[in-house]
Amino acid sequence: MNTHTSRRTVLKSTGAMATLLSLGIVTAEQAWAAGRAGFDAKTLEEALKALGGAPAANGQVSIVSPDIAENGAVVPVGAISKLPNTTEIYLLVEKNPNPLAAGFTIPAGTEADVQTRLKMGQSTNVLAVVKADGKLYSATKETKVTLGGCGG
């Protein structure tokens, strides 16, 4: 990676985080933690450990993901938590080079329902991990990819 590319990347991510900070969507502590909490993990086990350990399966957590994704570069994925006091939602893609794909802080008094688009290099399990009352809960769903998104 050359200096110009890394500088551009830093400026983009810093600008995005500064916007979130200025709008009050995240605190300074959350912004700092977002840059490190498991996103560098290379395995699902490492990512879960960084989030706080193995989550328990729970029927109050659901994941929204297609059964078959025609293009792995833009797979719509979401998670919903019906658990009271949900504070965080994480989306993990088991077979991706970096399984932790997204993390969301859920402000108190808001509905714990998030949606995004993720890259998936191959057919894999997608996990939603929810933190509620300081404990981790999860739901898993398999999504089949017909055209790879992570270099495919």
State pLDDT tens for residues 46-89.
999 999 999 999 999 999 999 999 899 999 999 999 999 999 99
Shared domain check, 107 and 52 = yes
Burial of 80-101, coded b for 16+ CB within 10 Å and e otherwise, reads bbebeebbbbbbbbbebebbbb
Question: Residue 27 falls within a domain, yes or no?
Answer: yes
pLDDT at position 62, please? 96
Average pLDDT over residues 131-142: 96
Shared domain check, 124 and 71 = yes
Taking all residues of the chain, what is their mean pLDDT, rounded to a whole number?
Answer: 82
Question: Residue 152 falls within a domain, yes or no?
Answer: no
Whether 103 has a pLDDT exceeding 60, the answer reads yes
Question: Residue 18 falls within a domain, yes or no?
Answer: yes
Whether 4 has a pLDDT exceeding 50, the answer reads no
Average pLDDT over residues 130-148: 92
- Report the percentage of the chain scoring pLDDT > 70: 72
Cβ-Cβ contacts under 8 Å for 45 (sequence gap 6 or more)? none
User: Which residue's entry shows tokens 């792995």?
Assistant: 72
Shared domain check, 109 and 53 = yes
Shared domain check, 129 and 96 = yes
Tell me which residue range forms the domain holding 25.
1-35
Question: Residue 130 falls within a domain, yes or no?
Answer: yes
Tokens of 132: 């509620």
CATH classification at residue 141: 2.60.40.2470
Shared domain check, 56 and 128 = yes
Tokens of 38: 């498991």
Name the pTM for this structure: 0.74
Shared domain check, 88 and 20 = no
Whether 149 has a pLDDT exceeding 80, the answer reads no
Shared domain check, 20 and 58 = no
pLDDT at position 9, please? 52
Average pLDDT over residues 21-37: 54
Q: Are 70 and 147 in contact (CB under 8 A)?
A: yes
Shared domain check, 85 and 61 = yes
Average pLDDT over residues 127-131: 96
Shared domain check, 98 and 31 = no
Shared domain check, 12 and 46 = no
Give the closest residue to 128 by CA, choosing from 84, 34, 65, 68: 65
Q: Which amino acid is at 136?
A: L
pLDDT at position 38, please? 84
Shared domain check, 58 and 29 = no
User: How many structural domains comprise the chain?
Assistant: 2
Shared domain check, 58 and 122 = yes
